[in-house]
A and B are shown apart, each in its own frame.
Chain A
Amino acid sequence: MKDRNTELYRTMYLIRMCEEKIRVHYPSDQLKTPVHLCIGLEAIVAGVIYSLKSDDQVFGTYRNHGIYLAKSGNTDRFFGEMFGKVTGEFQGKAGSMHLSAPENGFMGSSAVVGTTIPLSLGCSFVNQQKNNGRLTAVFFGDGATDEGVFWESLNFACLKKLPLMFICEDNGLAIHSNTSERQGYRSITDIVNQFDCHVIESESTDPEVIADLTEKGISKIYQKNGPVFFHFKYYRYLEHVGINEDFESGYRSREEFEHWHKIDPINLQRAKLIKNGLKESFIQEIENAAIDKIEKSIALASQAPFPPDTDLYQNVLV
């Protein structure tokens, strides 16, 4: 059996390095798609998705690269999509912001905040009706909880006791607006607790902790207790959209970053593997394999053709 900690590290490292390689290649202007990088977020994505079955279904936001890579692992299609080439998951029709992998259970993401939350209702409703044991998880940021559709969806999920996991990835920011500038209440988890919903919260950057909490939530769902709301804090290392740091722009401080960087999920997990007795060389093999895979995928995407003009008209309707 595969070691959970090793697998969590393998997934997180792949995600981190894909994002770092995007930062390297972005200035070449070959990736003409707005990227919302998930550096800092890896423990949540890796931990949650590790605890799901492969046929469980997830929905994401425009900050979706981690979900895609954790669910499908296909870096060829990932970079193909970033480069807008025929080798992309959707031959360049989706780009970064609308990436998904339906065949791997990543059912959709969206560039309009909050819009995939109600999709998770319909998806989990079908699973409930068919009693097929599949779970649905929907990832969204704290900004989405400002939207009416979040509350409409939470209400409906609780009403129908849907087998659904709400995953709130709270970085305290909606683009550049702090929670304190947006929310006239003290605690989202206190409010959600008033619904018929199980609430789990954490500020951990340890993917093992996230995976354990996810499993705890899943057991609640299997007891047919209805949905679970997970509130996970994290820190967004880079600007909202793009590849750069933005600590000098005034809305947040480098000190805050430095606090979170001390508990960086990749570094923490690597140290844990060493402490658990894994050899440095073994970890380096994992890392080299990831980088090798990514470099090959980038070369493939870079050389692949763009879709033909006729593709413009394909798949508007069936």
Chain B
Amino acid sequence: MLKKKPSPEDQAEPLTRRKVLSWLSGFSLCGSAIITVFSNFTFITPRATYGQPNRFSVGRPEDYPPGARIALEAQRICMVREGNQMAAISTTCTHLGCIVASSETGFSCPCHGSRYDQDGNVTAGPAPKHLPWYRLTLAPNGELEVDKDTEIEVGTYFKV
């Protein structure tokens, strides 16, 4: 066989079996490490939460007379009824998670002085966004159901 004179590139980087194998094993070790970290994070991310459910019943529409603004403290929402329109507004301050209190002009937060109007729009303070409105549905048994996982646009009322 004729021996070819190796070009400078070949001389610099001869691709040996050893090199390929160490590259492959290094790659698989790194891959396993990444998969391990990822699966551990998946493990500690809860699939089911044990606290309060995010979908719950808040009673029948008749329980809320027109013009009512009733805060359900444990569920951290405020039920609003104007005429035959209803809405569920969050009472968790969008700033740092304190509970806002109802005030004459709307809502006010005791922690950092954020203020909101009747619809939950920010009027003062450090709160970065409006109080979320949650979707309301009427369950077959005639009870209103709040879904805190689904935010809707401010001012979108549910007709009862």
A and B are interacting partners: no
Which positions in A face B, CB cutoff 8 Å? none
